[in-house]
Amino acid sequence: MSKAATEVVEAGREGQKAVVTGGAGFIGSHVADRLVELGYDVTVLDDLSTGRRENITHLSEHPSFRFVQGSILDKDLLRDLFRGTTFVFHQAAITSVPRSVQAPEATHEANATGALLALMAAREAGVAHFVMASSCAVYGDTLTLPKREDMSPHPQSPYAVSKLAAEAYCTVFTQLYGLPTTALRYFNVYGPRQNPDSEYAAVIPKFIRAALDGAHLTLYGSGQQSRDFIYVADVVEANLLAATRGLTGVYNVGSGGAVSIRALADMVLRAAGSDSTTIVEEPRAGDIMVSQADISHLAQHGYAPSTPLEKGIEQTSAAMRSPGVNGLTHDPKSGVSERDATSP
């Protein structure tokens, strides 16, 4: 375990309260797992529109865990849940670029309005720190690599616009009202608990499912689009670092490297031991070509992703082939559960 991870573990305080919005979703459920491990009283809020109850079933009997089914747009519910809370981890969102192209109004309401209402409730409740899941999509399709937090954003989808608006609200609430906030720009998160059957499933679980089933792996456009893939346990650590160290502002959360989707397909086929082939379809609207994170800003505070892509794919493939509890496996050395993730 790294020094930074050790400090995060030591930061856990029995009886302190944490709320995870969207906590039955893929990344949110992993954050909830880790908080319970660290001794926090954890409340998960999720409307189960995309989150899955089975992602948190294993926590249901834990005395310090509570699940509330409800909407991020319910002001009274947010006020209720945030009362006496130390940390809010705001993961609730519509995370699909293609879906946002089809339904921009719903995406804005969930992502931008939802973040605003959560910030208002956090301010009223005197929350110590508010951490929000943002996205590398705000950078758009600029050719400059790697992406740095001080670069001008160029959002190319309603999803990206909604996340940029939510980031701006975080900044304003810190500047005007003194609420400490962090916006974490996730790059392509993956691991063992994402639903590969969704129409908007992230590429790694979708590729793995196809490889295990002997089906084609579908590439959109040239397949030379590059992405920065980051394992979910590393994303969980970034959230905890931001909250427990009181970091404010915007930070990239990625691996610092990049791989093409075509090369990724080859890695998945090797990990799955599959002889499936790839096929090519038309590019998708709103998709970007290149994405790679500069993670030096967060690294200054101890962030150090520790799972190489090949290892992460192997672990994810193994979990999807022989899932444990809710498709979750556990690494006793790290104390962090390995799970599935989405690609915000």
| Domain parsing of the chain, residue ranges | 3-338
For residue 190, give the amino acid letter: Y
Residue 241 · residue 251 · CB < 8 Å: no
Residue 260 · residue 225 · CB < 8 Å: yes
Report the Cα 135 to chain-centroid distance in Å.
9
- The CATH classification number of 3-338 equals 3.40.50.720
Query: Where do we find the tokens 């295990």?
Result: 212
| 3-class SS of residue 303 | coil
Residue 50 · residue 94 · CB < 8 Å: yes
Rounded to an integer, the average pLDDT of 71-79 is 98
Residue 119 · residue 130 · CB < 8 Å: yes
> Is cis: bond before 146, omega within 30 of 0?
yes
Beta strands in 115-167 (DSSP E): 129-135
Please give the pLDDT value at position 202.
87
Q: Which two tokens stand for residue 162?
A: 């909604």
As annotated, the active-site residues are: 159
Q: How many other C-beta atoms lie within 10 A of the C-beta of residue 143?
A: 6
Confidence of residue 194 (pLDDT cuts 50, 70, 90): confident
> What sign for the dihedral angle of Cα 296, 298, 304, 307?
negative
Confidence of residue 288 (pLDDT cuts 50, 70, 90): confident
> Does the pLDDT value for residue 69 go beyond 80?
yes
Please give the pLDDT value at position 341.
28
Please give the pLDDT value at position 339.
26
DSSP 52-67: -GGGTGGGTT-TTEEE
Q: Which two tokens stand for residue 243?
A: 């909250």
Confidence of residue 200 (pLDDT cuts 50, 70, 90): low
Q: How many residues does the chain have?
A: 344
> Per residue in 307-344, pLDDT tens?
999 999 998 898 888 765 444 433 322 222 222 223 33
> Does the pLDDT value for residue 283 go beyond 90?
no
Nearest CA-CA partner of 57 in 34, 77, 35, 33: 33
> Does the pLDDT value for residue 265 go beyond 70?
yes
